[in-house]
Amino acid sequence: MFETIRYEVTDGVYWLYLNRPDKLNAFIAQMNREVKDAVKAASNDEEVRCIVITGEGRAFCSGQDLSEVDENMDHGQVLRDQYGPMIKQIRDCEKPIIAAVNGVAAGAGFSLALACDFRLISERASFVNAFIHVGLIPDSGNLYYLSQLVGHAKATELAMLGEKVLAAEAVEMGLANRLIQGESWEEDVTAFAARLAALPTKAIGLIKRSLKATSTLSFEDYLEQEAQGQRIAGLTKDHREGVNAFMQKRKPVYSGQ
């Protein structure tokens, strides 16, 4: 049913491949829609406990396909209709999402990686806030996430100068969680995803909910939301399993329930 992406579900992990390798996985409207629909499907699928977004071929995602841009384009409306709903779907997802950045992540491709919970990067990965090079501003939530990740000063620099950030530097500035060296890329990403998929999924979702609330709620309201989150987590089977495993001095096996 998808044409610009493909997916497979293996051992509770939903692998979402951006699949326009000859275009360096650049976004067209259809791809925005398909990423959104795929993330929604993965969110609603009880079997899925982790999502990995990665690129087919040598790029992660090179941003908007400029061949789709003409002088009559209403850039604001494109964000409202295409990119915004996609990014919002990712933000609403209560399962862990990994961006496995296998190559260049430029423009909205950079933003897509930022919207995920983890960024695992290969040696070939790079990040470019390319918008400024065509007289535009970072979009698709880019600066919202970027300033939280690397701080205001560094976000300003990356947005205004549009310089390429290479893999090692990306880890150093807190943009990426892990740099995976050499040949073990697929293996290590798979292992990391499997690790996340084996965690208490409901609690992971509630952690995401709490983290989001830190930027929208007052401290008092946050504490109330935290109490509600802990109440929900306290009712899960995984919480019981965790406690029982601890008492019985064995490793817990979480079901995600």
Partner 1 sequence: MTSFEFIETSMEENGIAVIYLNRPRQLNSLNRKMVSEIVAAMEDYDRDENVRVIVLAGVGRAFSAGADIDEMTGDDPISLELLNQFADWDRLGLIKKPIIGAVKGFVFGGGFELALSCDLLISASGTQFSFPEVGLGVMPGAGGTQRLTKLAGRTKAIEWLWTGERISAETALTHGVINKIVAPELLMEETLKFANRLAKQPPLSLRLIKDSVNKAVDYSLYEGMQYERKNFYLLFASQDQKEGMNAFVEKRKPDYQGK
CB of 225 to partner 1, least distance (A): 7
- CB closer to partner 1 out of 142 and 225: 225
- CB closer to partner 1 out of 2 and 222: 222
Site string for partner 1, 137-166 (x = CB under 8 A): ------------------------------
Binder among 10, 184, 228, 257 for partner 1 (CB under 8 A): 228
Residues 6+ apart with CB under 8 A from 78: 29
DSSP sequence for the chain:
--SSEEEEEETTEEEEEE--GGGTT-B-HHHHHHHHHHHHHHHH-TT--EEEEEESTT-SB--B-GGG--TT--HHHHIIIIIHHHHHHHHH--S-EEEEE-SEEETHHHHHHHTSSEEEEETT-EEE-GGGGGT----TTHHHHHHHHH-HHHHHHHHHH-PPEEHHHHHHTTS-SEEE-GGGHHHHHHHHHHHHHTS-HHHHHHHHHHHHHTTTS-HHHHHHHHHHHHHHHHTSHHHHHHHHHHHTTS-------
Binder among 63, 96, 103, 229 for partner 1 (CB under 8 A): 229
- CB closer to partner 1 out of 20 and 202: 202
231 binds partner 1 (CB under 8 A): yes
Binder among 79, 132, 149, 232 for partner 1 (CB under 8 A): 232
Q: Which stretch binds partner 1 (CB under 8 A): 67-75, 119-127, 189-197, 221-229?
A: 221-229
CB of 213 to partner 1, least distance (A): 10
C-beta of residue 105 within 8 angstroms of C-beta of residue 140: no
225 binds partner 1 (CB under 8 A): yes
| C-alpha neighbours within 13 Å on the C-beta side of residue 224 | 4
- CB closer to partner 1 out of 199 and 217: 217
CB of 89 to partner 1, least distance (A): 13
How many residues make contact with partner 1 (CB under 8 A)? Answer: 7
Q: Which stretch binds partner 1 (CB under 8 A): 73-81, 190-198, 225-233, 245-253?
A: 225-233
- CB closer to partner 1 out of 172 and 224: 224
Q: Which parts of this chain interact with partner 1 (CB under 8 A)?
A: 209, 225, 228-229, 231-232, 235
